[in-house]
Amino acid sequence: MTQKHNKGSKIQSPCPPALPQITVPSSMLAVTDLVLSKLSTANLAVFDLTNNAVSISLAEQMWKEGKPVSAICHGPAAITNVKDPNGKHIVSGRRVTSFSNEEEEQVQLTKAIPYLVETRLKEV
């Protein structure tokens, strides 16, 4: 793919053109529809996805089938209740990263959200 640089020169990019962004309710998805799960939902994950049965079920099925389950920023909040087939939290005993407690303090939202994602990840 060739892209035009802001000064008029062309650069070669190994990346394909962006795929269209398609948003559908998670209740309309099946694991067979998905290749991977990537949750990047800002702090909404803390409010909306932590206990969302559909989201948890999809992630658990993905994990069971060996498909990637990933999250960034506050997204790991959505997998804190996801468990493997043996009932163990999938983040338990793993090195994971998320929006940190320190970052939450820097943006002054520690009291605006129900829990700190970093703390929750350490608890499970």
Asked if the structure places residue 1 within a domain, the reply is no
Asked if the structure places residue 48 within a domain, the reply is yes
State residue 12's pLDDT score: 45
Q: How many domains does the chain have?
A: 1
Asked if the structure places residue 7 within a domain, the reply is no
* pLDDT of residue 8 exceeding 80: no
Asked if the structure places residue 97 within a domain, the reply is yes
Q: pTM of the entire structure?
A: 0.69
The CA distance from 112 to 108, in Å, is: 8
Asked if the structure places residue 53 within a domain, the reply is yes
Asked if the structure places residue 16 within a domain, the reply is no
Q: Could you tell me the end-to-end alpha-carbon distance of the chain, in angstroms, rounded to an integer?
A: 44
Asked if the structure places residue 6 within a domain, the reply is no
Stronger pLDDT, 14 or 23, i.e. the higher one: 23
Domain with 49, as residue range(s), is: 21-123
Give residue-wise pLDDT tens across range 24-52. Answer: 566 666 656 555 555 556 677 777 788 88
State residue 83's pLDDT score: 96
**CA-only gyration radius of the chain, Å:** 18
CATH label of the domain that carries residue 101: 3.40.50.880
The CA distance from 112 to 30, in Å, is: 33
Q: Are 81 and 56 in contact (CB under 8 A)?
A: yes
Closest CA to 47 of 70, 74, 86: 74
* pLDDT of residue 7 exceeding 70: no
- Pairing verdict, β 69-71 and 2-4: unpaired
Asked if the structure places residue 89 within a domain, the reply is yes
Residue 76's CB is within 10 A of a number of other CB atoms, namely 24
Give residue-wise pLDDT tens across range 49-97. Answer: 888 888 888 889 889 988 888 888 888 888 899 999 999 999 999 988 8
Residue 4's CB is within 10 A of a number of other CB atoms, namely 9
The pLDDT of 108-118, averaged and rounded, is 90
